[in-house]
């Protein structure tokens, strides 16, 4: 297969699904992973008329499962040129002192351990691909800008930022590019997952403004992956025009 191949984690919703569609439109072959098999099947059926698609059910937190999926890729899908580390989530938007410890562990295991598992396994392939290969990690403005209720989520995305920058140092001379893309407010299933299905909370967050869409971020990911080989965007922070920063919070005497 002469066409380029993208490996996308968390492809069953949000940024991952939109990114799969964007790359398929450009004729890239796709390796799509996620935990929801029915959604993977649906996406494969949708995109197979545009390109070659291989899907694999995968929980990125499971290092052995990651190894198995990559090792068992059909020959036509092995030469991955772009890894999109999209799988991740936020939970428990309450104050840290009110959060269940398991929610913290789930975010750490998915946003950090999962990303590390997939990256480590695919690094030899990407290095072999060389010039033009890309690792695109989904960070967040939460990794740079703290806010109440972000606690471990923000910390996990700060890890994504620093891990991406450090990978750049180690991969110097290989031709492999690394980018931390950090979206701001975007209307996807993100808030529904974070609030454990609270549709009213999700609706309230986006009401009366114009957030980013999954397609907006997918377009940026595709742009990064298709830049000339000699260009690397280290970090790309993308916010809606109608979102900005606020003043410091101050605790005052009543």
| Range 143-168 average pLDDT | 97
Whether 71 is covered by a domain: the verdict is: yes
Q: Are strands 53-57 and 82-85 parallel, antiparallel or unpaired?
A: unpaired
Residues 40 and 239 sit within 8 Å (Cβ to Cβ)? no
pLDDT at 2: 63
Whether 150 is covered by a domain: the verdict is: yes
- Domain containing 166: what range? 5-238
74 burial via Cβ count (<10 Å: 0-12, 13-18, 19+)? exposed
How would residue 1 be classed by pLDDT, with cut points 50, 70 and 90?
Answer: very low
The residues assigned a catalytic role are 153
Whether 247 is covered by a domain: the verdict is: no
In the sheet that holds 177-183, the strands lie side by side as 53-57, 29-34, 5-8, 82-85, 134-138, 177-183, 235-238
Whether 10 is covered by a domain: the verdict is: yes
Count of the separate structural domains present in the chain: 1
0.75 exceeded by pTM: yes
Q: What percent of the chain has pLDDT over 70?
A: 99
Cβ neighbours of residue 223 closer than 8 Å, sequence gap 6 or more: none
Whether the predicted pLDDT of 80 surpasses 70: yes
pLDDT at 239: 97
User: CA-to-CA distance for 27 and 226, rounded, in angstroms?
Assistant: 12
CATH, residue 79: 3.40.50.720
For 81-137, the pLDDT digits (tens) are 999 999 999 999 899 999 999 999 999 999 999 999 999 999 999 999 999 999 999
Whether 38 is covered by a domain: the verdict is: yes
Which helix (DSSP H) or strand (DSSP E) does residue 124 occupy? helix 115-129
């Amino acid at each position: 297969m002469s066409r380029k191949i993208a490996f996308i984690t968390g492809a069953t919703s949000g940024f991952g699904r939109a990114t799969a569609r964007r790359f398929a439109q450009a004729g890239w072959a796709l390796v799509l992973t996620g935990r929801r098999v029915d959604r993977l099947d649906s996406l494969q059926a949708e995109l197979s008329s545009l390109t070659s698609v291989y899907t694999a059910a995968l929980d990125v937190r499971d290092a052995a499962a990651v190894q198995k999926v990559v090792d068992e890729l059909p020959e036509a899908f092995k030469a991955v040129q772009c890894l999109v580390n999209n799988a991740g989530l936020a939970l428990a938007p309450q104050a840290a002192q009110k959060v269940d410890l398991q929610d913290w562990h789930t975010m750490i295991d998915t946003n950090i351990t999962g990303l590390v598992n997939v990256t480590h396994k695919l690094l030899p392939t990407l290095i072999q691909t060389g010039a033009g290969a890309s690792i695109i990690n989904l960070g967040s403005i939460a990794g740079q800008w703290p806010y109440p209720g972000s606690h471990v989520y923000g910390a996990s995305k700060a890890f994504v930022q620093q891990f991406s920058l450090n990978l750049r140092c180690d991969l110097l001379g290989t031709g492999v590019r690394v980018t931390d893309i950090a979206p701001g407010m975007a209307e996807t299933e993100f808030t529904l997952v974070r609030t454990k299905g609270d549709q009213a909370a999700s609706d309230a967050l986006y009401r009366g403004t114009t957030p980013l869409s999954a397609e907006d971020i997918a377009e940026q990911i595709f742009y990064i992956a298709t830049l000339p080989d000699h260009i690397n965007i280290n970090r790309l922070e993308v916010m809606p025009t109608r979102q900005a920063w606020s003043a410091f919070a101050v605790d005052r005497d009543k």
